Chains A and B, each alone.
Chain A
Amino acid sequence: MNETPKWGMVIDLDRCNGCTVCVTACSLENNVPYVGEGDAGYGRSMQWIRVERYWEGEYPNVVARFRPIMCQQCGAAPCEPVCPVFATAHSEAEQVNLQVYNRCIGTRFCANNCPYIARTFNWFDYSPGMPLPLNSQFNPDVTVRFRGVMEKCTFCIQRIRRVEEEAKAEGREMLDGDVQPACAQSCPSDAIVFGLLSDPNSQVSHLTRNARAQALLLEELGTQPRVIYLASERGSKR
């Protein structure tokens, strides 16, 4: 495996039942704040992953379609060139988009230019208002963000790093499936699979050769997303 590792994700829309466990797991893993009832109702909830629900067909033949969407870790990311201070940057080592919280000045230009609406903004300082014992639930591997910065899904880069370091310490290669982002780990129906797209024998590479693996989200925009959706055939006419 000499080329740069390219991480990717496959989401099987036939398996997703819209339970939103991935949303909860992601928020706990990445210290995503709970914004409170009022602001969440106003459209300011900050989850890095959302499950979109669309209805298809007319009553009584209605099918609910679910589509989990998070940052697609684009190869040609629209968010990157518009940031005036390089706070959104491309990681050469992991081939994901990074958000440098300390560098962000909060122009929110990246969020406007993201066609996937994947980015969220810290409207207030959420962590200081937390009742005290609850701060123990923060994940020490992830920065607690302050007001006025953007944030988004990182493919749980802290977990990628940890597995890499463990493998190095044990003097072995990383195995496929060693890295599990919170959403993939928690998904009860295994709809989300994560791994190296650059490794032809990994499970994700195997799934991308599936006949249903035709859908990159908004592929026509040329963003080269790293999340591959397996098209849903459940309930369709075929």
Chain B
Amino acid sequence: MTAKAIPLPQSQVEEEEDPRQHLLFDPRPREELNSMVLEAMHSTPISFWIAVIILTLLVIICLFGAWGYMAVVGMGTAGIRRPTFWGMFIANFVFWIGISHSGTFVSAILRVFKAEFRRPFTRAAELMTAFGLAAGAMYPLIHLGRVWVSYWIFPYPNNRWLWPNFHSPLVWDMVAITTYLLGSTMYLYLPLIPDLAMARDRSKGWRYSLYRIMSLGWRGTEEEWVRLRTAIRIFAFAIIPVMFSVHTIVSWDFAVTMAPGWHSTIFGPFFIAGAIYSGVAAVIMIMFLIRSTMLNMKYFMREEHFDALGKLVLVFSFTWTYFYFSEYMLGWYGGDAADKALWQAITHGPFAWLWYLMLICNILIPWLTLWNKKIRRTPWVMFIICLLINVGMYTERYLIVPSMIARNRFPFDWDSYLPRIELVISLGSLSLFMLLYLLASRLIPLIPVWEVQEGQFAHTLRKVGKTHVPSVSETE
């Protein structure tokens, strides 16, 4: 690959004052890019270690300690009661699975559609998928009354010929989440191989041994590249239907039941829209945090990426709003007594403050702000907006899970829900996510360097509509 100076068309130059604000038009020598990424990976200031220690303590005490206490003493330490048998644990489960969605969505969809701006942040997004799944997949276990026999849900041979019940959505969940975890981990690992080899060639000591094993003897021959590209393409296409199936199945935990408010055929696409919405917002938050805490990352993660993802967030805000209102308005219009009571409780009953918080965070704020290019290009403002969007999306899950089952067909049994130990465990799993991310950011190259280099050196400009976009053809 050789660097070529590509003259920009005249119109492009007039429109965009400085083409070098785009990462792909601002090339640097390959070795410099490599060392920038490695430097970010090797730098472990004291603040990093303080964060690691605090997060480790939080994980040990709040997640495993509180969980162990709850398992030994009983589920009564949580705030659930009759009839809200599912509480914040399941809301957290849906939230984390939703977050983990978008990492792969952003990476796979943009890769399949050849959106070249994706190149610097695909790995950050895929890591979010892996660790979001790690945090989310714990919740079905945490919320079990008897977690020590949770393996009974697996179809394993036993001398009583007892099988799991394949009619149960929880068994579907188990299958779907396991598939997604394996698939997305492999999809994360494949583009990592050349970068690990790059790191292997430039490090020594324990890092050298680690990268030597993990890079699987990658030498960068023509044949290896061809195979790697084929494998990545297969996984990028294959992971998309898996991803859609996972969140649809999560929504079926609710949609196949008879509970008013849950029993809805639109839950599949509605949950997927919500998952991608909150997940893309989380990608923006993570990009901001990486950019502001790690060395050299301002070069890779630029305003243009916040801009592009901000547009995606706005589009998914529209999609989510559409599904949300078509679901709830139909329930309201249907006039079923239980649905009506639920609607009443959500709009001006005890859950109304949650409902308005959700509407403000999920609709009002993004719709008012994200139109503006200047706002989309200001990273810290985007961080705040995306944080609020995730607060809103969490509120939505909280409304769906414990609030909706608090209203059933017998007004005598209506009740509400207040979390107790759930709050501590939620803090613990958030710490687990951040801890895993922190450790990974110093163990593997957080930027797919070879993809950025490929984008910088091998792109050509194609005319799409009135604008010119860089496109990388499949030749090496």
Measured CB to CB, the residues of A under 8 A from B are 39, 42-45, 50, 52-54, 69, 78, 81-86, 103-109, 111-113, 115-117, 120-125, 147-150, 218, 221
Could you pull out 15 A-B pairs where Cβ atoms are within 8 angstroms? A44-B81, A52-B412, A82-B167, A82-B168, A82-B256, A82-B257, A84-B168, A86-B162, A108-B80, A109-B253, A111-B82, A112-B259, A122-B74, A147-B76, A150-B145
A115 and B165 contact, CB distance less than 8 A: no
Measured CB to CB, the residues of B under 8 A from A are 73-76, 80-83, 85-86, 140, 143-147, 149-150, 152-153, 162-165, 167-171, 174, 253, 256-259, 405, 408-413, 415
B145 and A149 contact, CB distance less than 8 A: yes
A44 and B76 contact, CB distance less than 8 A: yes
B168 and A105 contact, CB distance less than 8 A: no
Which residue on B lies nearest to A78, using beta carbons? B258
A52: which B residues are within 8 A, CB to CB? 410, 412-413
Known pairs A44-B76, A117-B408; A149 contacts B257 (CB<8 A): no
Which 8 A-B pairs have CB atoms at the shortest separation, nearest pair first?
A106-B145, A148-B145, A123-B76, A124-B74, A108-B85, A43-B81, A52-B412, A148-B146
A107: which B residues are within 8 A, CB to CB? 140, 143-145, 170
Known pairs A78-B258, A86-B165, A122-B74; A106 contacts B152 (CB<8 A): no
B153 and A85 contact, CB distance less than 8 A: yes
Instruction: List 18 additional contacts besides A85-B153, A105-B150, A123-B75; criterion CB under 8 Å.
Output: A50-B412, A81-B165, A82-B169, A82-B256, A83-B165, A84-B170, A85-B152, A86-B163, A86-B164, A106-B146, A107-B143, A107-B144, A108-B85, A108-B145, A109-B253, A109-B257, A112-B259, A124-B73
Task: Select which of B146, B162, B253 is within 8 A of A105 by beta carbon.
Answer: B146
B165 and A123 contact, CB distance less than 8 A: no
A122: which B residues are within 8 A, CB to CB? 74, 145
Which residue on B lies nearest to A109, using beta carbons? B170
Chain A nearest CB from B215 CB (Å) reads 40
A81 to B170, CA, bound (A): 10
Chain B nearest CB from A31 CB (Å) reads 17
Which residue on B lies nearest to A218, using beta carbons? B409
Which residue on A lies nearest to B167, using beta carbons? A81
A165 to B134, CA, bound (A): 53
A209 to B258, CA, bound (A): 30
A84 and B153 contact, CB distance less than 8 A: yes
A221 to B165, CA, bound (A): 23
A39 and B76 contact, CB distance less than 8 A: yes
Which residue on A lies nearest to B254, using beta carbons? A112
A147: which B residues are within 8 A, CB to CB? 74-76, 145-146
B258 and A103 contact, CB distance less than 8 A: no
A39 to B81, CA, bound (A): 9
B76 and A124 contact, CB distance less than 8 A: yes
A218: which B residues are within 8 A, CB to CB? 409
A109: which B residues are within 8 A, CB to CB? 168-170, 253, 257
A120: which B residues are within 8 A, CB to CB? 82
A147 to B72, CA, bound (A): 9
A69 to B169, CA, bound (A): 28
A45: which B residues are within 8 A, CB to CB? 82
A115 to B409, CA, bound (A): 7
B410: which A residues are within 8 A, CB to CB? 52, 69, 116-117
Which residue on B lies nearest to A51, using beta carbons? B412
B413: which A residues are within 8 A, CB to CB? 52, 117
Chain B nearest CB from A225 CB (Å) reads 13
A108 and B86 contact, CB distance less than 8 A: yes
A84 to B86, CA, bound (A): 16
A125 to B145, CA, bound (A): 11
A123 and B74 contact, CB distance less than 8 A: yes
